[in-house]
Amino acid sequence: MCGIVGYIGKHKAYDVLVKGLHRLEYRGYDSAGIALLKDDGTLNVYKAKGKVANLEASLSGKDVEGTLGIAHTRWATHGEPNDMNAHPQVSQSRSLAIVHNGTIENYNVLKEALVQHGYTFTSETDTEVLVQLIEYVKQENRCSLFDAVREALLQVVGAYAIAVVEKDNPDTLIVARKSSPLVIGIGQDETFIASDATPIVEYTNQVIYLKDDEIAVISRKAAIQILSLENNLPSQLNIQTLRLSVEQLEKGGYDTFMQKEIFEQPSTLCDCLRGRIVDGGERVVLSGVIENKERFLHAERIIFVACGSSWHAALIGKRAMQEMCQLPVEVEYASEFRYGNPYITDKDIVIAISQSGETADTLAAIQLAKSKGAFVYGVCNVVGASIPRNTDSGTYIHVGPEIGVASTKAFTGQVTVLLMLALCAGEIRGTVRPDTIKEIASALLRMPDMLTEVLKLDPVVSELAKIFTYAHNFLYLGRGYNYPTALEGALKLKEISYIHAEGYPAAEMKHGPIALIDQEMPTVIIAPKDSLHDKIVSNIQQVKSRGGLVIAITNKGDSAIARLANYCLEIPDVPECLTPIVASVPLQLLAYYIAINKGRNVDQPRNLAKSVTVE
């Protein structure tokens, strides 16, 4: 939530910053702003409500010179999205400007104290409080900008990644982080900072991920000093090489990122599987599990923590882990777990799933689980993000940057990794038969081809979407492994089309939702030929006999379902535990085309942000 970017060097900061804001716009798009510092000490701050394009349009003819600058794209937390609440926020004397991602929890107390000292406020943001506090400390203590930022941050409770510039200090950029990500990119006589590496990658692949409670002073000649906020001692510069290319961040001929990400799934699944299925498809090897063999061998319980689509993937993981590891498995919303006073022991393995690796609730759940002695395993996509750095071990899904706000390729990657995790841990525990491992592992290797096959449904789904674009409500039903697929299908539709959709276990429908069924409300039923096939045929009959319209996701040649459903989308036959991967693709396409027909911005749906770094 919120993206920050900064530049100090020899080139015009504006160009780097605006391009960077476009890359970070997936993190929030309520408003955007930029502060540019010229060598003569002029500090120009520009802000605009809405998307980065609005900011750019508003800057035509304005002075955008300067080789030091900071910029921000906002997902509003404190105060409505408007120009006043947009960042950068400036201090009372207008000598300091700040951009901030996170929330200052004690901002009210700090604000009251500052008001006592004669400070007035023009915005409703917690960020303005922080910049005023820095100014106050600086004036009171007659200290350097660095000392003032550090001293102010020691008074702050909350989460932040910040970048601060000072009018009379055109050679210095100060950044700091606590619980919100911040990456420093090291160029030739220039330095970049950003919430993630995407604005940096086209200039340099040398980066430092700032750690929690670190503050950095970056000076013009690319000199970087990182210190501990707490004791002011210098930290070592841990420079890493990015494995990210600019092409991965572009639409590559597709209309939207979401469409690209749906169609990339055959190749992203290849990347996800690479090197993990060995011995000619007979075994699964995940290094994070193998290196912690004893933990998996002696585990007494698995608890998944996640949010949104990652939580849906966890429900599929639960079923697989139960079956293959013969362990009790629980799935918790990270936001509930963290405040639920959960009973956790050192025999528990807590598996945190997160595409971004930055979700605040999931991070907090991890800290809680660790504090109670659990072994914490991460399943993430973004390499080097906070969650993989805060877990004991883990597996990356390696599906490449997901930029569309709706999770698509990350979801199928997560499910794939969780199935591999269940097989690998099950083998260690001796709870899954070798022929089962072989059957599923070799089917996993065929999944990229299966997805290529499923994607041929694209024109059919596009036509189907025309029929249902103007429905006001949808019901999604599934059973067993595909109850979570139904939840995921419903979430996809509601988040990008704004149509109300509910996912339900098919058999639960008769306990309430069946009352909603009429000709106006389509029911999407995931009904592959699995162990619950006969049951779901009855569920379809129940919908049909009440006049409902059924769109069924079925296997090829399933005449029982074809006779009942109004429309069928056929998916290839795969082992039962893999059906969510193939079945979720037509659901992604259905949501996509309905949203496009409604004229929605599918990559940046209203009110949402890709990475939810606030509670």
In this chain, which of 102, 612, 613, 614 binds ligand M6R, going by CB under 6 A? 612
**Mask of contacts with ligand M6R, 479-518, x by CB under 6 A?**
------------x---x-----------------------
Stretch of 70-78, 337-345, 351-359, 392-400 lying at the interface with ligand M6R (CB under 6 A): 351-359
577 counts as catalytic: no
User: What minimum distance in Å lies between the beta carbon of 46 and ligand M6R?
Assistant: 30
User: What minimum distance in Å lies between the beta carbon of 428 and ligand M6R?
Assistant: 27
User: What minimum distance in Å lies between the beta carbon of 487 and ligand M6R?
Assistant: 11
Catalytic residue among 2, 272, 424, 577: 2
What is the total count of residues that contact ligand M6R (CB under 6 A)?
16
The span from the CA of 66 to the CA of 64, in Å, is: 7
User: What minimum distance in Å lies between the beta carbon of 612 and ligand M6R?
Assistant: 5
User: What minimum distance in Å lies between the beta carbon of 144 and ligand M6R?
Assistant: 37
The span from the CA of 463 to the CA of 476, in Å, is: 19
**Mask of contacts with ligand M6R, 402-441, x by CB under 6 A?**
---xxx----------------------------------
Task: Give whichever of 426 and 503 is closer to ligand M6R, judged by the CB atom.
Answer: 503
Task: Give whichever of 310 and 390 is closer to ligand M6R, judged by the CB atom.
Answer: 310
2 counts as catalytic: yes
User: What minimum distance in Å lies between the beta carbon of 11 and ligand M6R?
Assistant: 32
The span from the CA of 606 to the CA of 604, in Å, is: 6
User: What minimum distance in Å lies between the beta carbon of 458 and ligand M6R?
Assistant: 20
Structure-token pair, residue 589 = 């396409």
User: What minimum distance in Å lies between the beta carbon of 60 and ligand M6R?
Assistant: 34
Structure-token pair, residue 299 = 């585990």
Stretch of 91-99, 162-170, 253-261, 354-362 lying at the interface with ligand M6R (CB under 6 A): 354-362
In this chain, which of 89, 179, 359, 391 binds ligand M6R, going by CB under 6 A? 359
Task: Give whichever of 18 and 307 is closer to ligand M6R, judged by the CB atom.
Answer: 307
The span from the CA of 598 to the CA of 274, in Å, is: 38
Contact between 77 and ligand M6R (CB under 6 A)? Answer: no
N-to-C CA span, the chain: 10
Q: Angle at Cα 170 formed by Cα 165 and Cα 172, nearest 5°?
A: 60
Catalytic residue among 47, 260, 492, 610: 610
DSSP 179: B
Task: Give whichever of 359 and 554 is closer to ligand M6R, judged by the CB atom.
Answer: 359
The span from the CA of 20 to the CA of 338, in Å, is: 33
Structure-token pair, residue 514 = 């069946």
How are strands ordered across the β-sheet holding 96-104? Answer: 89-90, 96-104, 158-166, 172-178, 214-219, 223-228
Task: Give whichever of 356 and 539 is closer to ligand M6R, judged by the CB atom.
Answer: 356
Residues 307-326 close enough to bind ligand M6R by CB under 6 A? 307-310
Give the CB-nearest residue to ligand M6R: 308
User: What minimum distance in Å lies between the beta carbon of 310 and ligand M6R?
Assistant: 4
**Mask of contacts with ligand M6R, 269-308, x by CB under 6 A?**
--------------------------------------xx
Stretch of 148-156, 348-356, 519-527, 548-556 lying at the interface with ligand M6R (CB under 6 A): 348-356
In this chain, which of 356, 390, 497, 613 binds ligand M6R, going by CB under 6 A? 356
Q: Exposed/middle/buried for 122, CB within 10 Å: 0-12, 13-18, 19+?
A: exposed
Task: Give whichever of 89 and 613 is closer to ligand M6R, judged by the CB atom.
Answer: 613
User: What minimum distance in Å lies between the beta carbon of 280 and ligand M6R?
Assistant: 33
Stretch of 324-332, 352-360, 391-399, 464-472 lying at the interface with ligand M6R (CB under 6 A): 352-360
Helix or strand (DSSP H, E) at 552: strand 549-555
The span from the CA of 325 to the CA of 425, in Å, is: 7
Structure-token pair, residue 584 = 């979720």
SS3 call for 113: helix
The span from the CA of 129 to the CA of 146, in Å, is: 17
Contact between 585 and ligand M6R (CB under 6 A)? Answer: no
The span from the CA of 548 to the CA of 448, in Å, is: 34
Task: Give whichever of 76 and 307 is closer to ligand M6R, judged by the CB atom.
Answer: 307
Task: Give whichever of 29 and 192 is closer to ligand M6R, judged by the CB atom.
Answer: 29
DSSP 64: -
* Dihedral (Cα; 51, 56, 58, 64), 10-degree rounding: 140
In this chain, which of 132, 172, 354, 497 binds ligand M6R, going by CB under 6 A? 354
The span from the CA of 573 to the CA of 170, in Å, is: 63
Residues 98-117 close enough to bind ligand M6R by CB under 6 A? none
Task: Give whichever of 153 and 352 is closer to ligand M6R, judged by the CB atom.
Answer: 352
The pairs formed by 258-263 with CB atoms below 8 angstroms and a separation of 24 or more are 258/404, 258/406, 258/408, 258/496, 258/592, 258/602, 258/603, 259/592, 259/602, 260/404, 261/402, 261/403, 261/404, 261/408, 261/409, 262/408, 262/409, 262/455, 262/585, 262/588, 262/589, 262/592, 263/455
**Mask of contacts with ligand M6R, 372-401, x by CB under 6 A?**
------------------------------
The span from the CA of 209 to the CA of 369, in Å, is: 24
Task: Give whichever of 359 and 482 is closer to ligand M6R, judged by the CB atom.
Answer: 359
Structure-token pair, residue 17 = 């910053």
* Ordered DSSP codes for 353-415: EESSS--HHHHHHHHHHHHTT-EEEEEESSTT-HHHHHSSEEEE-------SSS-SHHHHHHH
* Binding interface with ligand M6R (CB under 6 A): 307-310, 354-356, 359, 362, 405-407, 491, 495, 611-612
Q: Which residues are catalytic?
A: 2, 610
